[in-house]
Amino acid sequence: MPRPRVVILTEILTHYRQRFFELLRDQLAAAGIDLVLVYGQPRGEAASKKDTIDLPWAHKIQNRILSVGAREVCWQPALSFLKNADLFIVEQASRLLMNYVLFAAQVPGLKKMAFWGHGQSFRPNASTAGETVKRFMSKRVHWWFAYNDLSAEIVATLGFPKSRITSVQNAIDTRALIAHKAKIDDDALRRLRAELTLKSDNVCLYVGGMYAERRLSFLLDACHRIRQQVPDFEMIFLGAGPEASRVAAAAKEHPWLHYAGAKFGAEAVPYFMLSKLLLMPGPVGLVILDALALELPLITTNLATHGPEIAYLREGHNGMIVQAAEDVEAYAGAVATLLTDDPTRQHLVAGCQAEAHTYTIESMADRFARGVGQALHAD
């Protein structure tokens, strides 16, 4: 009897997913299930972030981007992988044309299709038509792999059976981050401080893609206001994207601002260790897990555009959400207060420490693998 074959189709393959897919492949193989991973290449804003990789055992395809009116849609040429697939797992996205082909194949019972995603778009410019289509399809796929419990609740409210939802608790390789942190000694940190020309201990950090949605203009404004209240405040920026030139220009003008380019995984760890707070006033996603693992409290604002991972941030316990999202003075004041009130900041650090091992990529792979097994056997 042939082994079950599961195909995961993803638009791009980001660096933080590598360990997850390797673990998932091993777990499924141990259960007698073959995993086929198919991925495309980044373009535009996604390419500018420089955070994608290739995997030798996976299958890379050439996505085709098509314009439909004011929108862009993506055709993923993956039909050749459909024939022998017992379960096809795709991202929940209305712009991915392959999803409609798979959905059409599932309706008469020819194939089993599963969604993997947030449950809804958290982007401010989400297409109304696209969201309507996603809701329609989301209620009718064979299985759901929800990012976390918050996403699972969203999917359930659409009317999808809870018994067919796997909450995977979206994660990154936090254990690797923690292990790498333990290897970094004081001499290495002193060398990095000298390289960055840091003159203070009141250092904060931004890490992530650099585009308008991340509210970097808001953050730069806040930094100047923090500097007024904490005269030795300094700020490190890590990342790449369309807004990187704005950050680099600000750093060139103000020596207490430091732009170090894009850093990922272990490469970013020492920058976390030099910092007291992680400043992310824009949408928060998986970066909250870096914050927890590396014991750096994250300070954000109350936005409707946060990813479902915002559920991992516990207000006043391991981070802070400034409620007045558009009030840059309030945000700067909150940061300045934490920099000058060490007991309160240390309370948040302790909260990060307490949850540093809560969300792991090993657990995510285990949950996903169990969900795959259940989906394959479900009628």
**Average of per-residue pLDDT across 141-151:** 96
pLDDT in the model for residue 68: 79
**Average of per-residue pLDDT across 261-287:** 96
The highest-confidence range among 49-58, 60-69, 214-223, by mean pLDDT, is: 214-223
Q: Quick one: pLDDT band at residue 81, thresholds 50, 70, 90?
A: very high
Looking at the fold, whether 144 and 204 belong to one and the same domain comes out as no
Looking at the fold, whether 236 and 114 belong to one and the same domain comes out as no
Looking at the fold, whether 327 and 285 belong to one and the same domain comes out as yes
Lowest mean pLDDT, pick from 65-69, 227-231, 350-354:
65-69
Looking at the fold, whether 142 and 274 belong to one and the same domain comes out as no
Q: Is the pLDDT of residue 107 over 80?
A: no
pLDDT in the model for residue 159: 93
Q: Is the pLDDT of residue 288 over 80?
A: yes
Looking at the fold, whether 35 and 166 belong to one and the same domain comes out as yes
Looking at the fold, whether 63 and 88 belong to one and the same domain comes out as yes
Structural domain tally of the chain? 2
Looking at the fold, whether 222 and 251 belong to one and the same domain comes out as yes
Q: Tell me which amino acid residue 36 is.
A: V
Looking at the fold, whether 230 and 166 belong to one and the same domain comes out as no
Q: Quick one: pLDDT band at residue 121, thresholds 50, 70, 90?
A: confident
Give the tens place of pLDDT for each residue, 16-45. 999 999 999 999 999 999 999 999 987 766
pLDDT in the model for residue 124: 66
Q: Which domain holds residue 260?
A: 174-355
Q: Is the pLDDT of residue 47 over 70?
A: no
Looking at the fold, whether 188 and 277 belong to one and the same domain comes out as yes
Here the CATH number for the domain that contains residue 209 is: 3.40.50.2000
pLDDT in the model for residue 44: 66
Residue given tokens 């404004």 in the structure block: 221
Looking at the fold, whether 328 and 186 belong to one and the same domain comes out as yes
Q: Quick one: pLDDT band at residue 71, thresholds 50, 70, 90?
A: confident
Q: Is this prediction's pTM over 0.85?
A: yes
Distance CA 288, CA 269 (A): 14
Give the tens place of pLDDT for each residue, 230-241. 999 999 999 999
Give the tens place of pLDDT for each residue, 157-181. 999 999 999 999 999 999 999 999 9
Looking at the fold, whether 293 and 256 belong to one and the same domain comes out as yes
* Per-residue exposure over 149-184, b if at least 16 CB sit within 10 Å of its own CB, e if not: ebbbbbbbeeebeeebbbbbbbbbbbbbbbebbeee
Q: Is the pLDDT of residue 46 over 70?
A: no
pLDDT in the model for residue 82: 85
Distance CA 154, CA 146 (A): 9
The pLDDT > 90 percentage for the chain reads 85
Looking at the fold, whether 81 and 197 belong to one and the same domain comes out as no
**Average of per-residue pLDDT across 178-188:** 97
Mean pLDDT (the chain) is 94
